[in-house]
Structure formats: structure tokens, C-alpha cells
Amino acid sequence: MAKNMKGEDKDMGKVAIYPGSFDPITYGHIDIIERGLEIFDKVIVAIAENEEKRSLFSVEERLRMVKSCFKDTSNVIVDSFKGLLVNYVGKTNAKVILRGLRATSDFEYEFHMASMNRSLNTQLDTLFMMTSKDYFFVSSRTIKEVARLGGAVEGLVPDLVVRRLKEKFKLPVPKKRRIGWDD
Ligand code: ADP
């Protein structure tokens, strides 16, 4: 039986890695994960720790939000990684990188990344899923921008993310909703 870099058996079902910043997680991401689960037995959501990229939420905060969204879904694993994605993938049982495509503007970057990753590891493929019609305009960046200016992002991100955004931007949060990170 094939072994991965850790010496673990690789034939343990179909596993995909869904890497990204998730700063914060949106329903666009969740839609890709849920559709990924129709194809794969397990999806590993891998939050990139990128010191070069300024994020609104710390890695710990992002981990907690994503874990909270999938607390009842045992086949979604949430983790973070530093450095090259291909190195992280090698430590798991995944053979596929899952990515979402929103617009043609995503394509060029994604095409280069997928080609580079395949050049670094020829065993690794990237699977792209087209965004759903309800979320094609949703990105973490626009969500943060709108939330910062006090606009409504309900319905585009989970309620717990709406609350965290309001807290970050010091906007009023209904009292009864001021509850723990993992609610
Ligand atoms: P963003 O580009 O929103 O900052 P990430 O870096 O966290 O997001 O993205 C991780 C992956 O999820 C990327 O492949 C990205 O294209 C995809 N993605 C993000 N938002 C959506 C969406 N609304 N629909 C489909 N895919 C998405």
C-alpha cells in the first residue's frame, strides 16, 4: 500500500485540501467545501499562515471560526500551515487541491499557482469548482470592506462571522449575541 511522507497509508479514501486565507470564511468558501464533500470523502481546510499578508483575523481566530462552522461535520478537518502548500500536502493523505473560481480575474493567478504546484509535485492535481450564482461576488476582501463601513453582510457569511466582524470594527453587537468564540 502506498505511503505518504509520514509513512501513513495513503489509501484511506479520497481526500482534498482546500487552502486559502479564510480571512474570514464566507458562504462562498462553505459552498465549495460542501460541494467538495460530494466528491471527496474528506476535505481538509488549510488556513495559510502568511506573515507577508496582513490579515484582519489572526490564524487562531480564523481556525476557531472555520472549526465552529463545521463542528457537526466530521469529514471536514480544519488546520493551518506555514510555507509551501506542496510540503503541507505531502504530510497528509490528500492528492488533490480544491480551489474555487469566481471570475476570469481569478483564473490567471489560479492557473499559475496550479501549474507551479504541479511542477513542484507531479502527483498533485488541482480541481477547480465554479462559484455558485449566489456567491460569485463574495470575497473575504469585499466582505471586510463592506463590514468595516457598517454595511450588512448577513447571508454572505455565517452569523458568527458577522458578529466577529462587528467586534473587530467596533460596531454595535446585540448583547445576547456577545458569546464565546466557538458558539
Ligand atoms: P479570498 O480570495 O476570498 O480572500 P481565499 O484566499 O480564502 O479567499 O480563497 C480560497 C479559495 O476559495 C480560492 O480558490 C478562492 O478562489 C475560493 N473562493 C473564495 N471565495 C469564493 C466564492 N465566493 N466562490 C467560489 N470560490 C471562492
The Å distance, Cα 60 to ligand 1 centre, comes to 19
Question: Would you please indicate which residues are annotated as catalytic (active-site) residues?
Answer: 29, 53, 102, 140
**β-bridge partners, 3:** 9
167 or 170, greater pLDDT: 167
pLDDT in tens, 90-113: 999 899 999 999 988 789 999 999
Q: What is the dihedral of CA 8, 9, 12, 13, to 10 degrees?
A: 100
How many CB atoms lie under 10 A from the CB of residue 59? Answer: 18
Tens of pLDDT, residue by residue over 103-149, are 887 899 999 999 999 999 999 999 999 999 999 999 999 999 999 99
Ligand 1 touching residue 99 (CB < 6 A)? yes
Q: Provide the whole-model pTM.
A: 0.88
| Per-residue pLDDT reduced to its tens digit, 21-67 | 999 999 999 999 999 999 999 999 999 998 888 999 999 999 999 99
